[in-house]
Amino acid sequence: MSRFRDEVRVIPRTGWGIALGVFALLVMGGAFFFSQSEGPRDAWPWWLVISIAPFAAIFSIYVLLVGYVYADARRRGMRYGVWTLIAIFVPNGVGIILYFLLREPMLRVCPACGGPYRSGLAYCPACGNAVTRICLQCKCPLEDSWKNCAHCGVLL
């Protein structure tokens, strides 16, 4: 599986349905609007009629991106409702760009209880099990490559 395909699968089915509905509504509404000409002199230019589909596709992709923000923020343990509203209401896609710049790392899974926890924690918040190496003197989390504790300086 490719990473892109895995990330696309994050978008909920509701998001796909809304995007498809928006696309169909824009294409059919535009076709109806442009067909309302009285005679040959009132006909719309062909390039304007053809431009409905790309506009509808771009707007549908925007809807899919909002669905991705919702699902991705939820799986990362962030405030997904707030981020979804920011993605919708901050204009010109700036809210979506802000989400990608400010999103938190993925949650990790505790090996003891299977509960989610944020990276950088020394203990699982659900069961209290140590999830990383811990300094015996200051009880701070350590990285695997460290030979000394970066917090208190003790030799490991």
Q: Read off the pLDDT of residues 5-21 as tens digits, 9 standing for 90 and up.
A: 999 999 999 999 999 99
Could you tell me the CA-to-CA distances from 82 to 34, 64, 70, 93, 97 in Å, in that order?
A: 38, 17, 9, 15, 15
Residue the block writes with tokens 């938190």: 104
| Residue ranges of domains in the chain | 3-105, 107-156
pTM: 0.76
Spatial CA neighbour of 111 closest among 120, 96, 99, 124: 124
Residue 132 has pLDDT above 80, yes or no: yes
Angle made by CA atoms 18, 74, 123, in degrees to the nearest 5: 170
Tens-place pLDDT, residues 33-53 = 877 766 665 667 777 778 888
Spatial CA neighbour of 56 closest among 37, 92, 31, 34: 31
- pLDDT in the model for residue 155: 86
